[in-house]
Amino acid sequence: MRPITLTVLSLSITLLFIPSLSHASSSTSLSQSDAAWLRRDSFGLNTATVTQYRTLGRKALLEEQLDDRLSDTLPPLITAQIASYESFYTPVDQLLMSIQQEQQQIKTMPDSPNKVAANKALQTRGNQLGQEAQQAELLHAIYGPNQLKEQLVWFWLNHFSVYAAKGRVRWELADYEQNVIRPHALGKFRDLVMATLQSPAMLEFLDNAQNAKGHVNENYARELMELHTLGVNSGYTQQDVQQLALILTGVGIAPTDGRPEHINPQFAPLMVRSGLFEFNPQRHDFSDKVLLGKPIKGSGFDEVKQAVDLIVRQPACAQFVSRKLAEYFVSDNPSPALVQKMASTFRRTDGDIAQVVRTMFESRDLLAATGKKFKDPTQFVVSSVRLAFDGTPVANAQPLVGWLNQLDEPLFGRITPDGWPLDNASWSSSGQMAKRFDIAHAIGTGNNQLFTPAGSTARGAGFPMLTTRLYYDAIEPYLSPATHDALTKATSQQEWNTFLLSSPDLNYR
């Protein structure tokens, strides 16, 4: 990679803070409204998305996306790439059993270089499984035909955030992404909460796997209300947290050591098992509880279902979830009227996510702030690759993971359970802009290893050609004068690509 001059870097950083202005469109162009709507509906424009929109029209496309009728089929090379990942072809229970067996074997080894090497190999394997989950999610985001669903999958992964580096979580990420979040991204919010509540990744990350009668752990109970459903200052008390923690005693993970579990016969009828999820009545506090002013009789796992029903039907839950969705898709400060309208839909439909999103996408607010919503790093990386390579399957997704690490938003990398921030201010520092310019340069010049299979020394594809019909139909007519002026100063196609990808027009949506 040739050195980037400070002049060019300064130009790009300056450009990113110049407001966007529009030019008149040509007869073959998407209208400005259509292009803006697609930028909210998708991670970023590519030819397939524009063609899909022109074929179906806005209303029909939205219907098919929200009804989840669009095929989830990825390009064959991308499907094969994900299928080759150990974390996706091996069930999570087998992965956890294998790690436990390896850990037990290592414990029996005498202290020696061999023991150190075995520990290191186990850690390396776990890191690889975590990277596979990161890569798979980014590949889905780039190539998934239902772009609205893909955005919601990422949104919910961030909302119900788990941290890869804690315990065995990285071994459980592929299961969390594919079997917990993705199937419920457009369904009922209650079902999504219950799915996360029963997932090994969440149970381990927020310590409910250790929550038992006489040894109560409040971590998950607190975050379930504060971060997942009701929001801070929504009226619940510390006593509610304590009562919910008691309700959640016994909610954990089935043993993975292969040994039979001994259950007292009187508790056996109350045992609940689903995959790795286990409600163990021997670990449960059967006292009667009062949650959010409502009595819940001690009865076992039914208490958990009653508690989740009660929480998600609180007006505060409808308000909290609706506002977070609006902050991601519409504006850092969505209008109270929009949030209220979405919350009303949430309550009327018993938390139907698709219907809440429909209300948002059919509102005037969606396009009122066009060009003012700054992309977080995931949106920037995914949209840049979608535009630059326009459906061409990459052979190596690891550079995508590396770029998000550089931009300080690694997937499954948020240590605290609140998820990555979604506001403009969190991602628009000068340091962030410099990193974005470097990544735009890597994509624009083709110097990025995306088309070089992992472990190969073969040369990948050259730099992309961004001056395509897609560019002239959906992007060029609406570029600001400042971006047009910068593009005329480019001395090569690679530099032109870099200027376009790092421009304000492609960093805002």
DSSP string, 238-261: HHHHHHHHHHTTTEEE---SSPPP
DSSP state of 43: S
Residue 23 shares a structural domain with residue 124: no
Residue 41 shares a structural domain with residue 84: no
Residue 76 shares a structural domain with residue 25: no
- B/e letters for 362-374, b = 16+ CB within 10 Å, e = fewer, are ebebbbebbbebb
Last residue of a domain, one of 186, 211, 244: 186
Residue 30 shares a structural domain with residue 134: no
Residue 442 shares a structural domain with residue 501: yes
Last residue of a domain, one of 167, 186, 205: 186
In the chain, the amino acid numbered 212 is: A
Closest CA to 119 of 133, 132, 134, 104: 104
Q: Looking at residues 410-423, what average pLDDT do you find? A: 97
The DSSP H or E segment spanning 80 is helix 76-83
pLDDT confidence band for 19 (50 / 70 / 90):
very low
Last residue of a domain, one of 152, 167, 186: 186
- Report CA-CA distances (Å) from 440 to 74, 434, 474: 25, 10, 20
Q: Is the dihedral of CA 39, 147, 359, 427 positive or negative?
A: negative
Q: What are the phi and psi torsion angles at 374 (to 5°)?
A: -75, 140
pLDDT confidence band for 460 (50 / 70 / 90):
low
Residue 11 shares a structural domain with residue 111: no
Its pTM stands at 0.93
Residue 173 lies in a domain: yes
Indicate whether 114 pLDDT > 70.
Answer: yes
Joined tokens for residue 173? 């990420």
Indicate whether 30 pLDDT > 60.
Answer: yes
Alpha carbons 343 and 318: distance in angstroms, whole number: 5
Q: Looking at residues 171-176, what average pLDDT do you find? A: 97
Residue 420 shares a structural domain with residue 496: yes
Residue 337 lies in a domain: no
- Residue-level pLDDT at 172: 97
Q: How many domains does the chain have?
A: 2
Partners of residue 212 on adjacent β-strands: 215
Alpha carbons 346 and 352: distance in angstroms, whole number: 6
pLDDT, tens only, 378-408: 999 999 999 999 999 999 999 999 999 999 9
Can you tell me which residue has the tokens 């400060």?
Answer: 333
Q: Which of 15-19, 25-29, 35-39 has the lowest mean pLDDT?
A: 15-19
Residue 38 shares a structural domain with residue 145: no
Residue 19 lies in a domain: yes
pLDDT confidence band for 28 (50 / 70 / 90):
confident
Indicate whether 17 pLDDT > 70.
Answer: no
- Residue-level pLDDT at 459: 65
Residue 401 shares a structural domain with residue 436: yes
Residues spanned by the domain of 12: 6-45+374-507
Q: Looking at residues 165-188, what average pLDDT do you find? A: 97
Residue 366 lies in a domain: no
Residue 168 lies in a domain: yes
Contact by Cβ (8 Å): 145, 73: yes
Q: Looking at residues 165-190, what average pLDDT do you find? A: 97
Residue 308 lies in a domain: no
Indicate whether 13 pLDDT > 70.
Answer: no
Alpha carbons 361 and 330: distance in angstroms, whole number: 9
Residue 144 lies in a domain: yes
**Neighbouring residues of 413: CB distance < 8 A, sequence distance ≥ 6:** 163, 164, 165, 404, 405
- Residue-level pLDDT at 445: 95
Q: Looking at residues 464-468, what average pLDDT do you find? A: 92
pLDDT confidence band for 287 (50 / 70 / 90):
very high
Classified as helix, coil or strand, 286 is coil
Alpha carbons 325 and 291: distance in angstroms, whole number: 27
Can you tell me which residue has the tokens 């949506």?
Answer: 509
- Residue-level pLDDT at 236: 96
**Neighbouring residues of 104: CB distance < 8 A, sequence distance ≥ 6:** 257
- Residue-level pLDDT at 14: 44
Residue 34 shares a structural domain with residue 93: no
Instruction: Return the higher-pLDDT residue of 326 and 262.
Output: 326
Average pLDDT of the chain is 92
For residue 180, how many other CB atoms are within 10 A of its CB? Answer: 24
pLDDT, tens only, 101-111: 898 899 999 99
Q: Looking at residues 21-48, what average pLDDT do you find? A: 81
Closest CA to 424 of 497, 474, 369, 479: 369
Residue 21 lies in a domain: yes
Contact by Cβ (8 Å): 137, 157: yes
pLDDT confidence band for 258 (50 / 70 / 90):
low
Residue 384 shares a structural domain with residue 447: yes
- Alpha helices (H) along 362-503: 365-368, 377-389, 398-406, 430-445, 469-474, 481-488, 493-501
Residue 181 shares a structural domain with residue 105: yes
**Neighbouring residues of 318: CB distance < 8 A, sequence distance ≥ 6:** 342, 343, 344, 346, 347, 351
